[in-house]
Chains A and B, each alone.
Chain A
């Protein structure tokens, strides 16, 4: 399954201005990601994993080098094209869930489909399917403040997965969760990755997440320190 390349990064450099000088967050990164990968960008704070994830998510642009996501060069996209790429093909999962607080669970998950202008009946079915994947069909009318952290992150996963994107970018998805909830949502994501062949890229330094990864890219001071592919027997996990 993990064959066709959906992301290619060539000599990527990212600098941030810091007063008169600049800080180099990513230094000469060269990577390729295939379809259906379950990969983690691992490293301590300041290693550049979130910066790289933001570039892959077309929320930021490289200072030098190229990053191709689903055949699109991130640095060359207009704001509108970048928004279109995110809307059509990317899903995001954030450390602090980033759910719309005044919307219900249903409305939160429905949001990406509204942007894609799906018909109401289609939206309803897709949202209910997504909530079923994460086991939250009974919370459909609840609002985020009424949910636990684990439930919120499951809603965020459903929102990221509802449109069945090619790529899901998850930034520290378990950082605010306890061990049980972390394993629950990681299993959910692993299942979705397997069943829908969606590529997952994590930015993490959480050992629980790392234990689920099939590819581990270690970043240190903005450079790729190690790129490790793990062969896991799926039976072990289940």
Chain B
């Protein structure tokens, strides 16, 4: 080969230029990355090594009116997977151990990529936490995270007031963009109504992490944003009173609502049957859930404000008010009750088959005479009846601070025309409505509000559970706005007559078992026919008579006569409210209980002025059709 010096020199320079070219290209590449695009890569590198970790705010506590904590938080352990780190077979193992659906978990993990832990099982047992910690090294990417869960003080139940919290669904996320995947939000009750207040605001913690997602420590405390504790709620009710009310309703299907007539504050709100809210805190087992859903008594349903019932005789003050206010009758207008009423070809019986004789309005209320009110109803007509029903707040929501309230149903002329055709409905429908039957649906809460209106002679307040909030951000209390409303269309004189009638009800009338000794009060019984068995028993009351402070409504589904079953419950509640204990009954046997009282209720009190026989078999209030 030719190995002359000149040819070598040329080859050397050719090769040298080639090498130089390569190096220039390389250096150009570095300049582009490190000078031209430096900022982009600095940001990327920061994002790489810094994990923005969310700090969950403490959910606001719930206090009762006495300042006792009724709903609190406790830590619970959740199983979480870091998608980027966890190996498929590890995930499979974990799924087997915790009885999770592998394909579902995989789908869940696919939604995000990276180092953000995804919670796959909530509220795992203590043993599982220990097992996870022991096997930490063998389970890369599997961690347990501490999440708060609702804790209810011992003896606290009231699921229909508090509701429960659960993981946000995609639908809920769409409705409220503030919700993020995996958030725990209020699903029912106060938790739902005040979710935005209770949840507080999340904080952010910046952590340095390595490529495996391991947290190495805090980046810079000054950049962190601390979470803000959710608002605390203080309720208007004394939980002792509420718990007592719940105990009165044990093993009963029904509801009890007591309201402070001076503010509208709810003093008790019971719906039975209910469930233990602890079962829906943290992990909800599907067994418990399906049991609750499929239970024929519907424990998830809040009867106090979601269920409309026919109000029965408690409604009689509406036609009475209408007739007086419209000057259709005077308080002294009398009607005679022979025990039945003939309407066209139909005969409607009074609950007292022997008849009440001739009564005025006060007596008609006192003895809840159907025949009297049937006649009155025909006199006032449907239009006036509807108008006064609405004045008393029926057919619209009360505006209580709980979600899912039912507005009930007050039929109007238009409603009947639509339903039965222009001339398809008869006087029978109207007569029915006058005694609180027929197409009339009223919630127990509305009855309580109705009692409050009568008690205050027209003034009433929006019912509400919350007295005030404590805002941790401003560190101040914020009162729940008390909204005063007034029924101006009804004069004081009319209220006086109605109230007097209601006072008579408990003073030896049908509601005598509702009378609290030593307290002057007023009430009204109701026995609402329903196609499913025994009639529903109603009782409503307010007390004290002259300066009312509490109004109450009680319904017992299929409880029979209102005066017999509902009134004693209201009485006991009020005794506890006024005196802090029950007052022994002079009429009842020493070991009296509800069963005994049912027997007692067959006997009217001794001081009755009526000529009616002492022993009566309770009848259904009407014998329609």
Q: Do A and B bind each other?
A: no
Seen from chain A, the residues whose Cβ lies within 8 Å of a Cβ on chain B are none
